[in-house]
Amino acid sequence: MPIAASSPLTQAKTDGIAAVLNEGTVVLGIESSCDETAAAVLRRGADGKAELLSSIIASQDEEHAKFGGVVPEIAARAHMKKIDDIIEQALTKSGLDYSDLNAVAATAGPGLIGGVIAGLMAAKGLSMALDIPLIAVNHLEGHALSPRLASACPFPYLLLLVSGGHSQLLSVKGLGDYERLGSTVDDAAGEAFDKSAKVMGLGFPGGPNLERVAKMGNPEAVSLPRPFARTEHANFSFAGLKTAVARAWDKSDKSEEAQADLAASFQKAVCDVLSDRTQNAMDMFVKSAGPSDAPHRFVVAGGVASNASIRTALTELCTQNGFELIAPPLEFCTDNAAMIALAGAERLHAGERSALSVKARPRWPLDSKSAIQNPMSGSGKKGAKS
C-alpha cells in the first residue's frame, strides 16, 4: 500500500483504541532519517495538548567529522548500533514501560534510506511484539508540526521549512493538508550552509560552525548573488550562491579575517533570500486566507531555523507584514523524535495506522500530489523530491 496515506483502523481495533484516545495517548517516536538517532515518549491528551515525557538524541558528529559530511553507510550502521539503547533510555527517562505505550511512530521518509530503514524496522518490531499500532510518519510533517510541542499553533499557518535537504514554503491548512507555495529548484539552504562551510575549511557540522565564524565578520565585505530576488514567485535557488562562495574563497587570501567576512556575507545573503521569497509567500497566503481579525501565523521550522540571524530577519519580516512568528524551541529545530511522536499521535487520533508492510522512502514530499504533477527539483524512480 502507498505510504503517503495511512490505512484506517480496522473495526476490531477501533473500539479498543477509541477508549484510549478519549483518555489520552502515549506514543513512542523514533527518528533516524539522517545522522541523529533519536527516541522520545509523548502523551497527547484528549484535549489535544502534548506533554513530552522524554527526548533522547544521539549525535553522530564524531563518526562523520573526518569526512566533512554525512556518509550514508556509516550513518546507517551507527543507527543500527545505537537505536535499541536510545529507545530504552527514552522509556526509562519517561518513567513508563513498554506496556504503557499505545502506539509507536517512526520516520518512514524522506531521508537517507539506510537510516530510515533502521528506525522503521525497530518500530515494526515493537508494533508486532506489543500488538500496538504502527504510524509511519513523514519526517517533514514532523517539522511542520514541531512548534506545537511547546505552544498552541492552530491551523492554518504559513510554513517555511528550511533544513539540510529541504527549502519549502507551504500553506498548512490542517493535518495532512499542505499546499506548496514555493520550493527549491536545486539545493536546499542547509546544504548551501554545509557545502560553503566545507569549502572554507570550517569542519563538520558545517552550518553551526559557519554561524559561529560569521559573528566575527563583515556581512557587507563580499558581494554575493541573491538568486530569484524580486521575482514574483516564491521558489528558491541556492546552487549559484554556493558556487559564488567557492569562487570568492579561491580568490581570497585564506586568512581568518577573509574566512569570517565570507561566512558573514554568505549568511546575510541567505537571510535576504529567505526574506525575499517569504514576502511573496506571505502575499499569496493572505490573498488565499482572506482578511483576519487576528494576525496570520508564520512558522519557521527545520535545522536552519536554529540560526539566530535568520530568526532575526524573519522576525523583522513578520513585524512588517503583521504576521505572528511561531518557531519551535531550538532543541526541536534539528532532527528529533519528539516531533515524530507528536505527528504519530495526531495521526492515530485521526483514526489512522500504517500496515506492517509499509516501506521506507528516500523521497516523500509533504504536498505529494503537487510534487508529482510539477516536481521542482527532479523526479525519478525514487519519486518526486519536492
Q: Is residue 382 part of a domain?
A: no
Angle, helices 239-251 vs 189-199, to 10°: value is: 10
What mean pLDDT comes out for the span 321-338? 94
- State how far the Cα of 386 lies from the Cα of 383, in Å rounded to an integer: 9
Q: Is residue 378 part of a domain?
A: no
Q: Please return the burial class of 67, using the count of CB atoms within 10 Å of its CB with bins 0-12, 13-18 and 19+.
A: exposed
Same structural domain, 167 and 221? yes
Same structural domain, 220 and 286? yes
Q: Is residue 277 part of a domain?
A: yes
Same structural domain, 59 and 123? yes
Rg (C-alpha) for the chain, rounded Å, is 21
Q: Which backbone phi and psi does 144 adopt, to 5 degrees?
A: -60, -35
pLDDT at 386 exceeding the cut of 90: no
| More confident: 189 or 385 | 189
The SS3 assignment for 334 reads coil
Query: Please, are residues 143 and 152 in contact by the beta-carbon 8 Å criterion?
Result: no
Q: Which three cell numbers stand for residue 82?
A: 545505537
Q: Is residue 80 part of a domain?
A: yes
Query: Please, are residues 335 and 34 in contact by the beta-carbon 8 Å criterion?
Result: yes
pLDDT at 312 exceeding the cut of 70: yes
Q: Is residue 2 part of a domain?
A: no
Q: Is residue 368 part of a domain?
A: yes
pLDDT at 372 exceeding the cut of 80: no
Residues forming beta bridges with residue 56, ordered by sequence position: 39
Residue 69 pLDDT grade (very low, low, confident, very high; cuts 50, 70, 90)? confident
Same structural domain, 205 and 109? no
Same structural domain, 341 and 301? no
What mean pLDDT comes out for the span 204-232? 96
349 contact partners, CB below 8 Å, separation of at least 6: 21, 25, 44, 48
Q: Is residue 72 part of a domain?
A: yes
The SS3 assignment for 32 reads coil
Same structural domain, 142 and 161? no
pLDDT at position 289 is: 85
Instruction: List the domain range (segments joined by +) for residue 139.
Output: 7-148+334-373
CA-closest candidate to residue 233, choices 166, 188, 278, 189: 278
Residue 84 parent element (H or E): helix 72-94
What mean pLDDT comes out for the span 220-233? 96
Residue 126: CATH number of its domain: 3.30.420.40
Residue 64 pLDDT grade (very low, low, confident, very high; cuts 50, 70, 90)? confident
Query: Where a domain ends, among 312, 327, 342?
Result: 327
Same structural domain, 143 and 255? no
Same structural domain, 140 and 259? no
Q: Which three cell numbers stand for residue 189?
A: 539552504
Same structural domain, 359 and 315? no
pLDDT at 263 exceeding the cut of 90: yes
Same structural domain, 159 and 307? yes
Domain count, the chain: 2
Q: Is residue 384 part of a domain?
A: no
